[in-house]
Structure 1
Amino acid sequence: MSLHYEVVFTCFLRDDMPDTVLAALRWHLGLAPERPAELDAEEHSYPLLSPDPDSRLPGGDFVSLRRQSRGITPGGELHAWGLFSRNLWLDDMMGDLYTVLDLLAPHVEEPGYSGYFREEFDAEPTVFTFRDGTFGPLKL
Protein backbone atom coordinates (compact mmCIF):
# COMPACT_ATOMS: atom_id res chain seq x y z
CA MET A 1 0.00 0.00 0.00
CA SER A 2 1.31 3.43 -0.92
CA LEU A 3 1.73 6.31 1.45
CA HIS A 4 0.27 9.70 0.54
CA TYR A 5 1.85 13.07 1.27
CA GLU A 6 0.42 16.55 1.45
CA VAL A 7 2.93 18.80 -0.36
CA VAL A 8 2.61 22.57 0.06
CA PHE A 9 4.62 25.35 -1.58
CA THR A 10 4.03 28.89 -0.34
CA CYS A 11 6.49 31.61 -1.29
CA PHE A 12 7.07 34.79 -3.22
CA LEU A 13 9.15 34.59 -6.39
CA ARG A 14 11.00 37.58 -7.81
CA ASP A 15 9.11 39.80 -10.20
CA ASP A 16 12.03 39.60 -12.67
CA MET A 17 11.89 35.80 -12.86
CA PRO A 18 12.77 34.72 -16.42
CA ASP A 19 9.83 34.04 -18.74
CA THR A 20 11.11 30.49 -19.31
CA VAL A 21 10.89 29.70 -15.57
CA LEU A 22 7.46 31.32 -15.34
CA ALA A 23 6.27 29.20 -18.30
CA ALA A 24 7.69 26.04 -16.70
CA LEU A 25 5.97 26.83 -13.41
CA ARG A 26 2.64 27.54 -15.11
CA TRP A 27 2.89 24.17 -16.87
CA HIS A 28 3.71 22.33 -13.63
CA LEU A 29 0.72 24.02 -11.96
CA GLY A 30 -1.61 22.92 -14.75
CA LEU A 31 -2.15 26.53 -15.86
CA ALA A 32 -0.62 25.96 -19.33
CA PRO A 33 -1.51 23.02 -21.59
CA GLU A 34 1.89 22.17 -23.07
CA ARG A 35 5.35 21.60 -21.62
CA PRO A 36 7.64 24.48 -22.64
CA ALA A 37 10.24 23.42 -25.21
CA GLU A 38 13.07 24.58 -22.89
CA LEU A 39 12.22 21.95 -20.26
CA ASP A 40 14.05 18.63 -20.27
CA ALA A 41 11.28 16.10 -21.00
CA GLU A 42 12.98 13.43 -18.90
CA GLU A 43 13.38 15.58 -15.79
CA HIS A 44 10.00 17.30 -16.24
CA SER A 45 8.02 14.36 -17.57
CA TYR A 46 4.61 15.50 -16.27
CA PRO A 47 3.10 18.48 -14.41
CA LEU A 48 4.05 17.93 -10.77
CA LEU A 49 1.76 20.50 -9.15
CA SER A 50 -1.35 20.20 -11.29
CA PRO A 51 -4.38 19.83 -9.02
CA ASP A 52 -6.20 16.51 -9.01
CA PRO A 53 -9.97 17.17 -9.15
CA ASP A 54 -10.51 13.92 -7.21
CA SER A 55 -7.94 14.64 -4.47
CA ARG A 56 -8.79 13.18 -1.11
CA LEU A 57 -7.22 16.10 0.77
CA PRO A 58 -9.80 18.05 2.80
CA GLY A 59 -10.81 20.89 0.50
CA GLY A 60 -8.96 19.29 -2.41
CA ASP A 61 -5.77 20.21 -4.23
CA PHE A 62 -5.27 23.90 -4.92
CA VAL A 63 -2.83 26.03 -6.93
CA SER A 64 -2.39 29.76 -7.37
CA LEU A 65 0.25 31.85 -9.11
CA ARG A 66 -0.36 35.56 -9.34
CA ARG A 67 1.57 38.78 -9.53
CA GLN A 68 1.03 40.63 -6.27
CA SER A 69 1.84 44.04 -4.87
CA ARG A 70 4.44 43.84 -2.09
CA GLY A 71 4.33 47.48 -1.09
CA ILE A 72 5.39 50.93 -2.16
CA THR A 73 8.88 52.41 -1.97
CA PRO A 74 10.24 55.80 -3.04
CA GLY A 75 11.14 54.05 -6.33
CA GLY A 76 7.59 52.86 -6.93
CA GLU A 77 5.42 49.84 -6.33
CA LEU A 78 7.10 46.49 -5.65
CA HIS A 79 5.70 43.28 -7.12
CA ALA A 80 6.41 39.56 -6.78
CA TRP A 81 4.88 36.33 -7.98
CA GLY A 82 2.87 34.76 -5.15
CA LEU A 83 2.91 30.97 -5.37
CA PHE A 84 0.67 28.65 -3.40
CA SER A 85 0.30 24.99 -4.21
CA ARG A 86 -1.22 22.19 -2.15
CA ASN A 87 -1.28 18.70 -3.61
CA LEU A 88 -1.53 15.09 -2.55
CA TRP A 89 1.42 13.03 -3.81
CA LEU A 90 2.05 9.31 -3.71
CA ASP A 91 5.24 8.22 -1.96
CA ASP A 92 6.88 7.24 -5.26
CA MET A 93 6.58 10.89 -6.41
CA MET A 94 8.49 12.36 -3.47
CA GLY A 95 11.81 12.25 -5.34
CA ASP A 96 10.22 14.74 -7.78
CA LEU A 97 10.19 17.27 -4.96
CA TYR A 98 13.78 18.09 -5.90
CA THR A 99 12.69 19.00 -9.44
CA VAL A 100 10.31 21.65 -8.12
CA LEU A 101 12.74 22.90 -5.46
CA ASP A 102 15.52 23.24 -8.06
CA LEU A 103 13.16 25.17 -10.35
CA LEU A 104 12.08 27.63 -7.63
CA ALA A 105 15.20 28.11 -5.48
CA PRO A 106 17.12 30.60 -7.65
CA HIS A 107 14.04 32.83 -7.95
CA VAL A 108 12.71 33.04 -4.38
CA GLU A 109 12.32 36.64 -3.24
CA GLU A 110 12.73 36.13 0.50
CA PRO A 111 14.86 33.50 2.25
CA GLY A 112 13.28 31.22 4.81
CA TYR A 113 10.16 29.11 5.09
CA SER A 114 8.63 28.12 1.77
CA GLY A 115 6.41 25.14 2.45
CA TYR A 116 6.31 21.62 3.78
CA PHE A 117 5.39 18.04 3.18
CA ARG A 118 3.87 15.52 5.55
CA GLU A 119 2.55 12.00 5.37
CA GLU A 120 -1.22 12.45 5.35
CA PHE A 121 -1.75 11.03 8.85
CA ASP A 122 1.29 12.70 10.48
CA ALA A 123 0.81 15.77 12.64
CA GLU A 124 4.38 17.08 12.17
CA PRO A 125 5.41 18.39 8.75
CA THR A 126 8.88 18.47 7.24
CA VAL A 127 9.52 22.11 6.39
CA PHE A 128 11.58 23.24 3.44
CA THR A 129 13.39 26.54 3.22
CA PHE A 130 15.13 28.55 0.54
CA ARG A 131 18.31 30.57 1.03
CA ASP A 132 20.99 31.95 -1.31
CA GLY A 133 19.51 30.38 -4.46
CA THR A 134 19.23 26.89 -3.01
CA PHE A 135 17.09 24.96 -0.54
CA GLY A 136 17.76 23.50 2.88
CA PRO A 137 18.56 19.84 3.46
CA LEU A 138 15.60 17.45 3.34
CA LYS A 139 15.01 14.05 4.81
CA LEU A 140 12.62 12.15 2.59
Structure 2
Amino acid sequence: MMPHFEVVLTCVLRDDTPDTVLDALRWHLGTIPERPSSLNPDEHPYAVLTPDPESPLPGGDFASLRRRSRVSPAGHERYSWGLFSRNRWPDDEMGLIVMVLHLLAPHVEEPGYSGYYREEHDPRPTILTFQDGSYGTLKPLPQPTAGGRVGPGACRDQVEGSATSSPLRLRSSGTPQEP
Protein backbone atom coordinates (compact mmCIF):
# COMPACT_ATOMS: atom_id res chain seq x y z
CA MET A 1 0.00 0.00 0.00
CA MET A 2 1.26 3.48 -0.89
CA PRO A 3 2.31 5.63 2.08
CA HIS A 4 0.12 8.58 2.97
CA PHE A 5 0.92 11.81 4.77
CA GLU A 6 -0.99 14.06 7.09
CA VAL A 7 -0.45 17.63 5.85
CA VAL A 8 -1.42 20.61 8.00
CA LEU A 9 -1.12 24.19 6.72
CA THR A 10 -1.87 27.13 8.96
CA CYS A 11 -0.95 30.78 8.49
CA VAL A 12 -2.16 34.35 8.60
CA LEU A 13 -2.22 36.14 5.25
CA ARG A 14 -2.12 39.91 4.90
CA ASP A 15 -5.41 41.67 4.24
CA ASP A 16 -4.03 42.97 0.93
CA THR A 17 -3.46 39.43 -0.40
CA PRO A 18 -4.48 39.65 -4.08
CA ASP A 19 -7.91 38.33 -5.05
CA THR A 20 -6.21 35.99 -7.55
CA VAL A 21 -4.36 34.28 -4.67
CA LEU A 22 -7.46 34.13 -2.47
CA ASP A 23 -9.49 32.66 -5.35
CA ALA A 24 -6.76 30.09 -5.98
CA LEU A 25 -6.89 29.12 -2.30
CA ARG A 26 -10.69 28.94 -2.36
CA TRP A 27 -10.51 26.59 -5.32
CA HIS A 28 -7.83 24.42 -3.69
CA LEU A 29 -9.93 24.32 -0.49
CA GLY A 30 -13.00 23.29 -2.48
CA THR A 31 -15.11 26.35 -1.66
CA ILE A 32 -15.46 27.43 -5.32
CA PRO A 33 -16.07 24.88 -8.07
CA GLU A 34 -14.13 26.28 -11.04
CA ARG A 35 -10.36 26.63 -11.31
CA PRO A 36 -9.61 30.37 -11.54
CA SER A 37 -8.37 31.44 -14.97
CA SER A 38 -5.26 32.89 -13.28
CA LEU A 39 -4.02 29.36 -12.45
CA ASN A 40 -2.00 27.37 -14.95
CA PRO A 41 -3.63 23.90 -15.18
CA ASP A 42 -0.20 22.30 -15.63
CA GLU A 43 1.02 23.79 -12.33
CA HIS A 44 -2.32 23.37 -10.50
CA PRO A 45 -3.71 20.14 -11.98
CA TYR A 46 -6.44 19.75 -9.35
CA ALA A 47 -7.55 21.12 -5.99
CA VAL A 48 -5.20 19.69 -3.35
CA LEU A 49 -6.64 21.05 -0.08
CA THR A 50 -10.26 19.96 -0.52
CA PRO A 51 -11.35 17.92 2.50
CA ASP A 52 -12.15 14.27 1.84
CA PRO A 53 -15.35 13.38 3.73
CA GLU A 54 -14.10 9.77 3.93
CA SER A 55 -10.63 10.65 5.25
CA PRO A 56 -9.30 8.06 7.72
CA LEU A 57 -7.42 10.74 9.70
CA PRO A 58 -8.70 11.00 13.27
CA GLY A 59 -11.28 13.80 13.17
CA GLY A 60 -11.18 13.86 9.37
CA ASP A 61 -9.90 16.44 6.89
CA PHE A 62 -10.65 20.12 7.43
CA ALA A 63 -10.22 23.36 5.46
CA SER A 64 -10.96 26.99 6.27
CA LEU A 65 -10.09 30.42 4.87
CA ARG A 66 -11.61 33.31 6.82
CA ARG A 67 -11.15 37.05 6.93
CA ARG A 68 -10.86 38.12 10.51
CA SER A 69 -10.51 41.24 12.59
CA ARG A 70 -7.67 41.46 15.07
CA VAL A 71 -6.70 44.16 17.53
CA SER A 72 -3.01 45.09 17.70
CA PRO A 73 -1.24 45.57 21.06
CA ALA A 74 -1.62 49.32 20.45
CA GLY A 75 -5.42 48.87 20.21
CA HIS A 76 -5.75 49.30 16.42
CA GLU A 77 -8.14 47.05 14.54
CA ARG A 78 -6.77 45.40 11.44
CA TYR A 79 -7.86 42.59 9.16
CA SER A 80 -6.13 39.51 7.83
CA TRP A 81 -6.95 36.11 6.35
CA GLY A 82 -6.66 32.99 8.48
CA LEU A 83 -5.94 29.73 6.64
CA PHE A 84 -6.13 26.26 8.13
CA SER A 85 -6.08 23.01 6.22
CA ARG A 86 -5.57 19.40 7.33
CA ASN A 87 -5.60 16.71 4.69
CA ARG A 88 -4.36 13.20 3.95
CA TRP A 89 -2.11 13.14 0.88
CA PRO A 90 -0.81 10.10 -1.00
CA ASP A 91 2.98 9.90 -1.26
CA ASP A 92 3.01 10.47 -5.03
CA GLU A 93 1.23 13.84 -4.61
CA MET A 94 3.49 15.29 -1.89
CA GLY A 95 5.47 17.27 -4.47
CA LEU A 96 2.37 19.44 -4.97
CA ILE A 97 2.81 20.94 -1.51
CA VAL A 98 5.53 23.14 -3.04
CA MET A 99 2.91 24.69 -5.32
CA VAL A 100 0.76 25.66 -2.32
CA LEU A 101 3.70 26.98 -0.26
CA HIS A 102 4.88 29.03 -3.24
CA LEU A 103 1.39 30.52 -3.58
CA LEU A 104 1.18 31.46 0.12
CA ALA A 105 4.74 32.56 1.04
CA PRO A 106 4.76 36.09 -0.44
CA HIS A 107 1.55 37.01 1.41
CA VAL A 108 2.17 35.62 4.91
CA GLU A 109 1.74 38.26 7.59
CA GLU A 110 3.23 36.39 10.52
CA PRO A 111 6.51 34.54 9.96
CA GLY A 112 7.25 31.28 11.73
CA TYR A 113 5.34 28.04 12.15
CA SER A 114 3.01 27.25 9.27
CA GLY A 115 2.10 23.62 9.78
CA TYR A 116 3.70 20.24 9.27
CA TYR A 117 3.64 17.04 7.31
CA ARG A 118 4.31 13.54 8.52
CA GLU A 119 3.97 10.02 7.23
CA GLU A 120 0.62 8.83 8.53
CA HIS A 121 1.98 6.55 11.26
CA ASP A 122 5.17 8.46 12.04
CA PRO A 123 5.00 10.41 15.32
CA ARG A 124 7.75 12.83 14.13
CA PRO A 125 6.44 15.63 11.90
CA THR A 126 8.51 17.85 9.65
CA ILE A 127 7.61 21.42 10.57
CA LEU A 128 6.83 23.93 7.80
CA THR A 129 7.82 27.57 8.25
CA PHE A 130 7.34 30.89 6.46
CA GLN A 131 9.71 33.83 6.66
CA ASP A 132 10.61 36.80 4.45
CA GLY A 133 8.38 35.69 1.56
CA SER A 134 9.85 32.19 1.48
CA TYR A 135 9.31 28.84 3.15
CA GLY A 136 11.37 26.13 4.72
CA THR A 137 11.28 23.16 7.06
CA LEU A 138 12.62 22.14 10.43
CA LYS A 139 14.05 18.65 10.76
CA PRO A 140 12.09 16.26 12.96
CA LEU A 141 13.61 15.17 16.25
CA PRO A 142 15.47 11.85 16.09
CA GLN A 143 13.74 8.70 17.30
CA PRO A 144 14.05 8.24 21.08
CA THR A 145 16.39 5.56 22.38
CA ALA A 146 15.09 2.40 24.04
CA GLY A 147 14.86 4.32 27.34
CA GLY A 148 12.61 6.95 25.69
CA ARG A 149 15.29 9.68 25.69
CA VAL A 150 16.56 11.75 22.84
CA GLY A 151 20.32 12.25 22.78
CA PRO A 152 22.08 15.53 23.59
CA GLY A 153 22.10 18.18 20.89
CA ALA A 154 18.97 16.75 19.29
CA CYS A 155 17.33 20.10 18.67
CA ARG A 156 15.25 21.03 15.67
CA ASP A 157 17.71 22.69 13.33
CA GLN A 158 16.49 25.10 10.69
CA VAL A 159 16.88 23.71 7.20
CA GLU A 160 16.86 26.41 4.57
CA GLY A 161 14.29 25.33 2.04
CA SER A 162 14.88 21.58 2.21
CA ALA A 163 13.56 18.68 4.17
CA THR A 164 16.71 16.61 4.55
CA SER A 165 15.15 13.83 6.56
CA SER A 166 11.99 13.33 4.54
CA PRO A 167 10.95 12.08 1.10
CA LEU A 168 9.96 15.62 0.09
CA ARG A 169 12.59 18.14 -0.90
CA LEU A 170 11.64 21.81 -0.97
CA ARG A 171 13.48 24.89 -2.14
CA SER A 172 12.64 28.42 -1.19
CA SER A 173 12.41 29.22 -4.89
CA GLY A 174 9.20 27.21 -4.97
CA THR A 175 10.43 24.47 -7.28
CA PRO A 176 10.77 20.81 -6.38
CA GLN A 177 14.29 19.55 -5.77
CA GLU A 178 15.24 16.04 -6.77
CA PRO A 179 16.23 13.82 -3.83
TM-score by length of 2: 0.75
2:30 corresponds to: 30
Does structure 1 residue 9 correspond to structure 2 residue 33? no
2:101 corresponds to: 101
2:173 corresponds to: none
Give the aligned CA root-mean-square deviation in angstroms: 1.3
- Kept in 2: contact 1:15–1:79 (CA 8 A): yes
Does structure 1 residue 138 correspond to structure 2 residue 162? yes
SS in 1 for 2:117: strand
- Kept in 2: contact 1:14–1:109 (CA 8 A): yes
Distance change >3 Å, CA 77–CA 91, structure 1 → 2: same
- Kept in 2: contact 1:27–1:36 (CA 8 A): yes
Distance 2:52 2:110 in 1: 29
SS in 2 for 1:49: coil
Distance 2:70 2:110 in 1: 12
Distance 1:87 1:75 in 2: 36
For residues 20-46 of structure 1, the C-alpha deviation after alignment (integer angstroms, 9 at most, x for no partner) is 000000000001100000100100010
TM-score by length of 1: 0.96
SS in 1 for 2:86: strand
For residues 81-130 of structure 1, the C-alpha deviation after alignment (integer angstroms, 9 at most, x for no partner) is 00000000000010001000000000000111100000010111000101
- Kept in 2: contact 1:14–1:107 (CA 8 A): yes
1:49 corresponds to: 49
- Kept in 2: contact 1:128–1:138 (CA 8 A): no
Q: How far did residue 79 of structure 1 move?
A: 1.1
Aligned length: 140
Select the structure that is richer in strand.
Answer: 1
2:87 corresponds to: 87
Unaligned runs of 5+ in 2: 137-160, 169-179
2:153 corresponds to: none
